[in-house]
Amino acid sequence: MGTGERRHYGGGCRARRLSGMRSALAIARVRFVLPDGVPPGRLPALPAASRLEVGTTRTAGAVTIHTHALQPTLTVLLSWAAERGVDLHGLDARSASLEEAFLSIAADEAPMEVSA
């Protein structure tokens, strides 16, 4: 290799992996059960929410919110509930576990090809 030449070995792949790790680690979730008569469609717009899961007939009213900003999401949700007198049964808020982050990264990673 001459002066000024540079070789890059998988830098793009490494950067993509690090980016995936950051986004996976940033995901938090909020779970609760809405009382009868309060449909999930009445929930407010939640900052940084990336996905909303609503329970099936077996778990009617169960809601899981995936978010990149736990505190702002909770602030909006709890303010909304307080203003309307809605009790969020079984409220649970937490950051992603290390296992969840690892599984998310592993699922996003494609097999790397190596050429001779």
Q: What is the pLDDT of residue 63?
A: 93
For 56-109, the pLDDT digits (tens) are 656 678 999 988 889 999 999 999 999 999 999 999 999 877 876 676 667 655
Question: Is 21-107 CATH 1.10.3470?
Answer: no
pTM over 0.85: no
Sequence spans of domains, the chain: 21-107
User: What mean pLDDT do residues 35-57 have?
Assistant: 86
Locate the DSSP E strands across 60-111: 62-67, 89-95
Of 65, 62, 55, 79, nearest to 28 by C-alpha is 65
User: What mean pLDDT do residues 6-13 have?
Assistant: 46
